[in-house]
Structure 1
Amino acid sequence: MCVVSPVDRTLRSRTPAVSRRTVLRASATLGGAAVLAGVTGCSSADEASPAEPDPLLAEARRARADAASARAVLADRPDLVDTMTVIADQRTAHADALDAEIVRATPVTATTTPSTTAPVQPSDIPTLAQLRDDLTESAQRAATLARSTQGYRGGLLGSISASCTLVAAAVQA
């Protein structure tokens, strides 16, 4: 047989330990504090640390400078038309690709203009050894930056590094 024991109703308290009103007050206070902390955190972070320049800007400038150097050598040494044209075209394409990536990754509120370089003066025409050294340094810098960059940017920089290494080897001093 089943024995049913009576329920002792004296153990149950008539008033809850925490009222609904207390819960609502606490929620409102915590919610307000969270909003205030979020607003304060956002404004102080924006004012304290200005946006860092995109690391690809320096690489785009280097690419344009290398292209200008190759064109200057071409003007001085027309016998190297094939090699210098390839170098100038490739480094210009590198600069254009870097500029496009900078524009793509930059927020709409900021304005970015493609980097330009001043034309090389006749007295500033680099030697073939200087051009090769500049291309080698560009390759090394792009490779270093590629190792610390992920995704498309890393691949772009790795490709630029390989291209610079190849054309630097083609420059015979």
Structure 2
Amino acid sequence: MLSRRSTLRLAGYGAVGVVAVTALSACAPDDGADGPAKIDPLIAQADRARTDAAAATAAVATIPDRAPALGLIASERTEHAKALDTEIARAIGVYSDGSPPSAAATASSSTTETVSPPTLEQLRTRIADSQRGSAALATTESDYRAGLLGSISAACGVHVEVLLR
């Protein structure tokens, strides 16, 4: 049989243990189970690059004399989307079972939507918006991601100011 003093001592240790476990669990990293998963901001940029590429390709129908420049823009914006998808996959890492993420899991849409042929001015405006968007996002990211977005912004600037003039 336990003495009164031993019983109180055990109860005190139990209370301290509960407080310690509660405090330590509050310091544990968030596994995202209690809230929505953070969406990678590069996904929207990759989608935008794919749509820009489709718009440039569609514009060849209405502006055939600019076909070489439009083809280059479509090619580069497609490469931008691929580079962004690669960075998204790298950031995801590997799943708990050790398998790498598939391309379907990283790209929000692997097929491009049908785009009506834009005018030259509409395409310039669209790519200028992409330039501003990637430049703004570059200021919120760090390291490689900031450099990637800055490079994409610079390329879009060349598209607008040189290729589409």
Aligned to 2:141: 149
In 2: Cα distance, 1:46 partner to 1:34 partner:
23
2:4 matched residue in structure 1: none
Matched, 1:131 2:92: no
TM superposition shift of 1:85: 1.1
Larger Rg: 1
> Per the alignment, in what secondary structure is the counterpart of residue 113 of structure 2?
coil
- Select 2:160's aligned residue among 124, 148, 168: 168
Determine the C-alpha separation between the residues in 2 that align with 1:44 and 1:132: 43
Q: What residue is the counterpart of 1:18 in the other structure?
A: none
Structure 1 residues 45 and 96: alpha-carbon distance in aligned structure 2, compared to 1, 3 A threshold = closer
Q: For 2:131 and 2:60, how far apart are their aligned partners in 1?
A: 21
User: Which amino acid is the alignment partner of residue 113 of structure 2?
Assistant: A
Q: How many residues end up aligned between the 2 structures?
A: 147
Pick one of 30, 47, 53 that aligns with 2:39: 53
Q: CA RMSD in A?
A: 2.9
The answer for unaligned runs of 5 or more in structure 2 is: 1-8
Residue number in structure 2 paired with 1:8: none
Say whether 1:35 aligns with 2:21.
yes
1:93 partnered with 2:79? yes
Unaligned runs of 5+ in 1: 1-21
TM-score by length of 2: 0.76
One-letter amino acid of the counterpart of residue 49, structure 1: G
* Larger RCO, structure (CA 8 Å, separation 6 or more): 2
Moved more, 48-57 or 109-118: 109-118
TM-score (ref. length: structure 1): 0.72
C-alpha spacing 1:164/1:36, structure 2 compared with 1 (3 Å): same
The answer to whether the Cα contact below 8 Å between 2:63 and 2:120 also exists between their aligned partners in 1 is: no
Instruction: Describe the shift of the 1:27–1:165 C-alpha distance in structure 2 as closer, same or farther (beyond 3 A).
Output: farther
In structure 2, what is the Cα distance between the partners aligned to 1:92 and 1:125? Answer: 17
Which among 115, 118, 135 is matched to residue 113 of structure 2? 118
